[in-house]
Amino acid sequence: MLSEFNFKQLRKFISLMLALQKKNTLFGFLFGLIPPLVTALSIELFIGKIIDGDVHTNGVKGVSVLFFILFSSVISQSTEGLKRYGSIVKRSYLSPTTVILAETWVQYLSFIAAFLIIAIVFMIPIIITFKLIILSLLVLFYAFFIAYYLVVASSILEDFSRIIAILFQLIFWVSPILYGIRQVNHHLTYFFILSPFHSVFEMIHLIFTPSDFNIGILSISLLSSLSFMFLLKFSLSRLRKKVLVFL
Amino acid sequence: MTPQPLVKLTDISVDLYNNSSDNFSFKKFVLSRQFLPKTISILENISLTIHKGDILGIEGSNGTGKTTLLSVIAGILPISKGERLVNGRCLPLLGLGHVFHEDLDIKRNIELWSLSFNSNFLINDDFIKSIISEAGLHVTQDVLLRSLSSGMKSRLAFELAMRDSEDILLLDEVFSVGDAEFRARSGDRIKSKLKQSGCAVIVSHDRDILEKNCTQILRIKDRKTIELC
């Protein structure tokens, strides 16, 4: 699926996107970190305390929020990015995959900077920080994979950005970011576990609290994510090859 | 033995999705259960062979598929049927300035051009200064593209196109941009570039331009018929 682009083009395009989005300055880059950091800190410090009733905070909610923002921004910015650069893509050799990958990496750079700030603020142990970085790379691949196929839908449906915004709102509330899956009424647990995005937050929870490991919950979550990836590939791969004719 | 053609299209068909179709929204999809917009056949069973030294002119009414044909030769647009063989590097100029970004400066736009066309420009200060100077822009390289007039953008794109090296040059109405002075100057430079390229395909509504520059002229009559003029 990566045959249509080359790394040299990707590297140069990322550099151009950084110049465009961050104005090529440290200040521009740091300015872009404010919204995700404010959201992560608000949820960790205020909403987290209200729900848990616990003054002690370990950063798990803030980190979960940042992972959610990474996930949603990669998908929304990549799909919108292809529309933004559509006039260039359909008249030159700038490949759609380059645009999606470049947007993905630009979002990841912001994520990793915001994540390290949260890790320092909440004094997250180095081993947990390291595990979360490894997990973030898996999430990055997962989000890229979804964006890679969803660009077809975003190219066809003019109201795709509105749909995806509603979907992400739904995903946010059904994902155990504000609450833990183990706090949910056990009759409804499977409803949450079957969400293809639950696996990410389950793994974040397990990195912070390994004692909660439950093979059933984790394997169903992972199976749900893999099934979702397979479904996307199966249903959209034929159209994905023709994405240029929709732009 | 006949030399291998630089471009060979055999019975190619191109179907595009109708952008003017009203079936693009999710609401429509739910109501009509039609996920994809309607397809239009732009080209059907078209064959074309271009050899080294050929300068092919293409004319035809609006919407007959001239630009689509150039996109297919360039390998940008996927074909729905047929076979496409291209031996060499294409430079598809489907308009001038279409790969620029308004919010990037001139230097970055030159980089964007280079990566968009896989050009092998050695981009340094001297190169950028010479591009700006030859294009007659009288601005610095850190000026944002949005501050340039459309004529200036065309001149910048034209200068970059002239610096590129390719085997197959594909030009879509690039003769008709800019003011009279620019057109006169660009016409001469395109002529000398056409001689350097392996082959070229020129799309234009101006019969005079095609007759002056091309070794043969084809007319796209409809989606199925290309005839020699």
Q: Cβ of B112 and A20 within 8 Å?
A: no
Tell whether B171 lies on the interface with A, counting CB pairs under 8 A: no
Q: How far is B154 from chain A (nearest CA, A)?
A: 15
Is B141 part of a structural domain of the chain? yes
B16: nearest CB among A88, A158, A245:
A245
Is B17 part of a structural domain of the chain? no
pLDDT value for A202: 93
Is B6 part of a structural domain of the chain? no
Phi and psi angles of residue B200, each rounded to the nearest 5 degrees, phi first: -150, 155
A156: nearest CB among B24, B101, B116:
B24
Residues of A with CB under 8 A from a CB of B: 6, 8-9, 12-13, 15-16, 19-20, 87-88, 90-94, 156-160, 163, 239, 241-242, 244-246
Q: Cβ of A242 and B104 within 8 Å?
A: no
Q: How far is A74 from chain B (nearest CA, A)?
A: 21
Which chain B residue shows the shortest CA-CA distance from A240? B78
In the numeric block, the tokens 């969400």 are attached to A195
Containing B130, the helix (H) or strand (E) segment is helix B125-134
Q: Chain B partners of A240 at a C-beta cutoff of 8 Å?
A: none
Query: What does pLDDT average to over chain B?
Result: 86
Is B132 part of a structural domain of the chain? yes
pLDDT greater at residue B138 or residue A142: A142
Is B105 part of a structural domain of the chain? yes
Q: What is the CATH number of the domain that holds B204?
A: 3.40.50.300
Looking at this predicted complex, what is its ipTM? 0.86
Is B181 part of a structural domain of the chain? yes
B117: nearest CB among A93, A157, A241:
A93
Q: How far is B78 from chain A (nearest CA, A)?
A: 7
Containing B66, the helix (H) or strand (E) segment is helix B66-74
Q: What pairing do the DSSP bridges indicate for beta strands B7-17 and B81-86?
A: antiparallel
Decide if B108 contacts A19 (C-beta within 8 A): yes
Q: What is the pLDDT of residues A1-25, one digit of tens each?
A: 444 568 889 999 999 998 887 666 7
Decide if B34 contacts B45 (C-beta within 8 A): no
Q: Cβ of A92 and B116 within 8 Å?
A: yes
Q: Chain A partners of B104 at a C-beta cutoff of 8 Å?
A: 16, 19-20
pLDDT value for A147: 94
What residues contact A74, with CB distance under 8 A and at least 6 apart? A103, A104, A107, A108, A140, A143, A144, A147
Is B47 part of a structural domain of the chain? no
Number of structural domains in chain B = 1
Q: What is the pLDDT of residues A174-228, one digit of tens each?
A: 888 888 788 888 888 888 888 899 999 999 999 999 999 999 999 999 999 999 9
Q: Assess whether pLDDT exceeds 60 at residue B228.
A: yes
Task: Using the Cα atoms of residue A212, residue A217, residue A222 and residue A224 in order, give the sign of their dihedral.
Answer: negative
Question: Which range has the top average pLDDT, A158-162, A196-200, B171-175?
Answer: A196-200
Q: Cβ of B25 and A157 within 8 Å?
A: yes
**Span B24-52, mean pLDDT?**
82
Q: Chain A partners of B27 at a C-beta cutoff of 8 Å?
A: 159
pLDDT value for B22: 58
B37: nearest CB among A92, A156, A242:
A156
Decide if B109 contacts B30 (C-beta within 8 A): no
**Domain hosting residue B127, numbered range:** 53-77+90-228
pLDDT value for A87: 87
pLDDT value for A52: 63
**Span B87-102, mean pLDDT?**
86
Q: Cβ of A87 and B98 within 8 Å?
A: yes
- Best A16, A91, A237 member to test B by mutation, with max B CBs in 10 Å, is A91
**CA distances, B6 to each of A142, B14, B210 (Å):** 41, 21, 20
Is B170 part of a structural domain of the chain? yes
- Best A92, A94, A167, A236 member to test B by mutation, with max B CBs in 10 Å, is A92
The percent of residues above 70 in pLDDT, for chain A, comes to 93
Q: How far is B219 from chain A (nearest CA, A)?
A: 22
Q: Cβ of B78 and A245 within 8 Å?
A: yes
pLDDT value for A174: 85
Tell whether B103 lies on the interface with A, counting CB pairs under 8 A: yes
- Smallest CA-to-CA distance from A30 within A113, A94, A151, A139 is with A113
Q: What's the DSSP call for residue B147?
A: G
- Smallest CA-to-CA distance from B146 within B204, B97, B199, B75 is with B97
Tell whether B108 lies on the interface with A, counting CB pairs under 8 A: yes
The whole model's pTM is what? 0.87
